[in-house]
A = this chain, B = another copy of it.
Amino acid sequence: MRNSSSDRTTVKRIPKRGHYDRETIDAILDEAIICHVGFVVDGQPYVIPTGFARVDDLIYIHGSAASRMLRELSKGVDVCVTVTLLDGLVLARSAFHHSMNYRSVVILGKAELVTVQTEKMAALEALTDHFVPDRWKDVRPPTELEMKATSVLRLPLTEASAKIRSGPPVDDEADYALDVWAGVIPISLKHGEPIQDI
């Protein structure tokens, strides 16, 4: 099993929630629609939501070549990409033990600008198909001008970890006697009825 752990991505608080195998990491990345990208400008961290796609041992993000985030990341700065799937609200009998069920991935590294046109086009295909499966084959592909207006960045999955909490609340022994509703409210993303643009 491929493994992406490093000291910086090792889960220290509640270590049993940490997972470092690529099968676990990839499943979370492939299910999520957006990621949050963290980068630093003049000492100030910024966290920006954006789409992404995984291809083998990389993730790709993309955006306008004019966007500050893409321009900053293209410089090869340190980046953190975090992907979070919220699975449930965990209601305990005490306020203290309330929690959430979730699956998250944190990836650290330096993003690189994709300059080879075949890789760039393949990345855009992956981004489009991650968005809606098999969408790429149905749509008008990018023109040369659109390709120039788009930056694609790649980030390797060499330093990544997953963190997962699942299951019921864990209360203090004495609290189980309290007359308080406890349990899990499942949460999931719901895709609604498509609204056609006419």
Contact = CB atoms under 8 A, between A and B. Distances in A.
A191 B197 contact: no
Given A86-B189, A128-B95, A187-B192, A38 B45 contact: yes
Contacts of A146: 94, 96
A187 B189 contact: yes
Interface stretch (A17-25, A53-61, A74-82): A74-82
B183 A140 contact: no
> How many identical subunits does the complex contain?
2
Most chain B CB within 10 A, of A37, A48, A149, is at A48
Given A184-B197, A190-B190, A191-B186, A47 B38 contact: yes
Given A34-B86, A44-B108, A108-B44, A185 B191 contact: yes
Q: How large is the interface on A (under 10, 10 to 19, 20 to 34, 35 or more residues)?
A: 35 or more
Given A190-B187, A192-B185, A43 B40 contact: yes
A154 interface: no
A111 to B, nearest CB: 12
Contacts of A13: 64, 66-68
Contact of A180 (B67, B138, B193): B138
27 contacts: A13-B66, A34-B84, A34-B100, A36-B82, A36-B84, A43-B78, A44-B78, A45-B45, A46-B80, A46-B106, A49-B84, A49-B102, A51-B100, A86-B189, A92-B139, A94-B139, A94-B140, A94-B142, A95-B140, A96-B150, A98-B131, A98-B139, A132-B185, A184-B194, A184-B195, A189-B189, A189-B190
- Give the 3 A-B CB pairs with smallest separation, nearest first: A186-B192, A38-B47, A38-B45
